Structure 1
Amino acid sequence: MRVDFHMHSTFSDGVETPEQLLQHASEADLKMIALTDHDEIAGIDRMLQINSSIQIITGCEFSGHYKGKDIHILGYGFNHHDEGLQKFIDFFKEKRESRIKEIISRCIAHGYDISFSELQALYPNTKSYGRPHVARLLIDHGYAKDVQDVFDG
C-alpha cells in the first residue's frame, strides 16, 4: 500500500494547498496520507472536506527543543479540534512569525533588500512562513542560486 505521512501545505512551509496535495496523492494512487504542517492543523479540515477515496490521518509536525537543539516531532491520529491542542498550536504560530521576522531583520542587517511584506505578497496563501520561504525570496532577488545555497551560506 502506497502512503505519504509527511506532507506540508501552504498552511506552513509547503507550496501547494491541501486540495492540491490531495489531488497529487490521488494521481500517485496513494491510499493513505497525513497532512503534517509545521505547528499547524488548520489545513486538515479543508482536506477532510474533499470527497476522496484516500484515507486521511490527522497529523502535525510539532516544534520542540531537546538538549539545546530545535527538533521536530511528527504526531498522528489526534483530535484536531481539541482546545488544548489549538492553544499549543497558536503559541507556536506566534513564535514562528516572530522568528521569521527576526530572520528577515538579520538579512536586512547584512545588506539583503527583502521585507516581510514582500514575503506576504509572494506567498499570499501561506498561513505560516518558514525558512524555506525566506530562502526562496532571497533566490528571487538573485542573492542565492537555490535553497541549499541559502542554508549553506
Structure 2
Amino acid sequence: MYTARSVVTDDAISGQVDLHCHSTASDGILSPSALVSRAKSAGVTLLALTDHDTVSGIAEAAEAAAEQGVTLLPGVEFTARWGRRVVHIVGLNVDCMSAALVEAVSVRAALRRERAMEIACRLEKRGFVGAFEGARRLASGDEIGRPHFARWMVAEGHVTDTAKAFKRYLGAGKIGDVMVPWPDLAETVASIEAAGGAAVLAHPLKYGLTRTRLQALLRDFQQAGGTAAEVVCGQQNPVQTREILQLLVQASHGEGPLLASLGSDFHQPDQPWRALGCVRLPADVEPVWNLWQTGASK
C-alpha cells in the first residue's frame, strides 16, 4: 500500500491542477495508471486520485505518477451524512495506512456491499436477473456503486444508456435508491484529519440545497474541522463560482473562510464537462495546496 504523503513544489503547480477524479477502483472507466497518463496528456502536474470510499487505486496511480513526472496527492472521496442529506467529503494528501482511514474505508465498504445487495434484490424482483454479479464484474471486484448497475443494464440491453437507468430505476426515489446509514459529517472530517489530510467539501452546488441551507452546511463543515471547499468542480459558469465564494465568506467563522479546492470530477473520457485538467481557480483565492507547498524544485 502506498503511504507517502506529498509535498507540493513550484513545479507541481506549473501546469494544471486537478484534485477530484475517479478510476476503476470506484466508479471510473480508466485504471489508475491510465488516468494518470490521460491527466499528464492534459497538462496536469498536480493530481489527486479521489475514488469513492476507497484508496485501493493509490499505489498504482503513484507508480504511474512517479514515472511520468506528475505529483500525486493520495486522496479519497468519502460518503457522509449531514442530517438526512448525503454529502461527499474529499480527503486530500492522506496517509493511506492511517488506522483512522483504514477504519473509515472498512466501514463504508461494508455499507456499500449491503447497499449493492439490496439494490440487486430489488432489481431482481423487477425481472433484472443477474444484477449483482453483473455489477460486480463491471466493478472489477472493487467498490460496487449504482453506476455499475447502470452500465450492466445498458450492456444487457435493458436500457439504452446510463442516464435512462438512473431516471427509471436507480435515481432518487426509484427502486435502486437505497438509504444507507453513512457516518456523519463530523466523524468523516475527523477520520481525514486523523490521517493527516485536509477535508474538502465536494461540489457544494450539486446537493440541490437552498442558499440558506448551503450556508448552514458550509458552516457546520468548517466548525467540524473542514479545511476547504471545491470552488470549481467540473465546468461551471463564473456566476456559480462567484456565488460559492460569497457563500464561503458568509459561512466563515473565527479564522476566515475555507480554503479553495477544485477538480474535474472525472469519471470517463466522453464527458467533456468533466475532462481532466479542465478547471481553474480564480486568481484571488487561497488554494488548499498551500498547506503542502514548498519553493523547492524537484
TM-score normalized with structure 1 length? 0.92
Determine whether 1:108 maps to 2:124.
yes
Instruction: Identify the match of residue 109 of structure 2 among 85, 93, 96.
Output: 93
Residues 4-153 of structure 1: matches in 2 within 5 Å? 4-50=18-64, 51-121=67-137, 123=138, 125-153=140-168
How far apart in 2 are the matches of 1:120 and 1:107? Answer: 14
Q: What is the identity, as a one-letter code, of the residue corresponding to 1:151? A: F
How far apart in 1 are the matches of 2:160 and 2:56? Answer: 32
Give the structure with the higher percent strand: 1
How far apart in 2 are the matches of 1:32 and 1:2? Answer: 7
How far apart in 2 are the matches of 1:9 and 1:105? Answer: 26
| Conserved 8 A contact 2:136-2:148 | no
How far apart in 1 are the matches of 2:63 and 2:78? Answer: 23
How far apart in 2 are the matches of 1:57 and 1:124? Answer: 23
| Conserved 8 A contact 1:9-1:17 | yes
Q: What is the identity, as a one-letter code, of the residue corresponding to 1:19? A: S
Aligned residue pairs, count: 152
SS, match of residue 33 in structure 1: strand
Q: What is the identity, as a one-letter code, of the residue corresponding to 1:14? A: G
| Conserved 8 A contact 2:26-2:139 | no
Deviations 1:91-130 (A, max 9, x none): 1011111111111111111122233223333x26341111
Q: Unmatched 5+ residue regions in structure 1?
A: none
Looking at CA atoms only, which structure, 1 or 2, has the larger radius of gyration? 2
Q: CA deviation at 1:143?
A: 1.7
| Conserved 8 A contact 1:59-1:77 | yes
Structure with greater contact order relative to length (CA < 8 Å, sep ≥ 6)? 2
TM-score normalized with structure 2 length? 0.49
Q: CA deviation at 1:63?
A: 0.7
The equivalent residue for 2:224 is none
How far apart in 2 are the matches of 1:129 and 1:145? Answer: 21
How far apart in 1 are the matches of 2:152 and 2:130? Answer: 7
CA RMSD of aligned residues (A): 1.5
Residues 67 and 94 of structure 1, relative CA distance in 2, 3 Å threshold = same
Q: CA deviation at 1:74?
A: 1.2
Deviations 1:34-87 (A, max 9, x none): 100000012112211232211101211001011212211112122121122101
Q: Unmatched 5+ residue regions in structure 2?
A: 1-14, 169-298
